[in-house]
Amino acid sequence: MLTDRLIKDIYEQNRTIAVYGMSTDPEKPAHMVPKFLMSKGFDIVPINPREDSIIDRKCYPGLRDVEENIGILNVFRPSDQSLNVVQEAITRKQDRGDINVIWLQEGIENENARRLAEQAGILFIQDMCIKKEFMRIFNETENT
């Protein structure tokens, strides 16, 4: 069960967040959310096959290409594409031993992906905004 204590632990124990589907468009949540988290001290790793760099960070074409160890995989892909992302994450966890949490953004849900992630020992969160939860848990405002 997802408790506030568990959510707080996720943030405190996982400082590197890979953002699958990160956008260069500053008006999109897939840009604003990771930029906010970066401002809070998280190491953001963009994943987008069409970009070389986002927010002055090296951008990787796919999850398997990421050099850094990943704590949280934050997913900004449609629900019907999230199963493939989770399967890629499970393969990476088996190969590299990283990815402790898969977090599907608000509005993104896939029960098959959840089941597979949990069977692989990965904490799975869906249909929740990682930024909103951070702000709620740490009592932050946009201007903090």
Give residue 119's domain range: 4-137
**Residue 144 within any structural domain of the chain:** no
State pLDDT tens for residues 6-27: 999 999 999 999 999 999 999 9
Model confidence over 76-123: pLDDT tens digits?
A: 999 999 999 999 999 999 999 999 999 999 999 999 999 999 999 999
Tell me whether residue 122 is in a domain.
Answer: yes
The pLDDT, as a whole number, for residue 118 is 97
pLDDT tier at 143, thresholds 50, 70, 90: low
Residue 38 falls inside a structural domain? yes
144 vs 67, residue with greater confidence: 67
Residue 142 lies in a domain: no
pLDDT of residue 1: 83
Q: What does the DSSP 8-state code read for residue 80?
A: H
Strand partners, 74: 19, 103
Domain harbouring 66, CATH code: 3.40.50.720
Domain total of the chain: 1
Q: Which of 36, 35, 85 is nearest to 55 (CA)?
A: 35
Dihedral, CA atoms, 78, 79, 80, 84, nearest 10 degrees?
Answer: 90
| Complete edge-to-edge strand list for the sheet that includes strand 43-47 | 43-47, 16-20, 72-75, 101-104, 123-125
72 falls within a domain = yes
89-118: burial string, b at 16+ Cβ within 10 Å, e else: bbebbeeeebbbbbbbbbebebeebbebbe
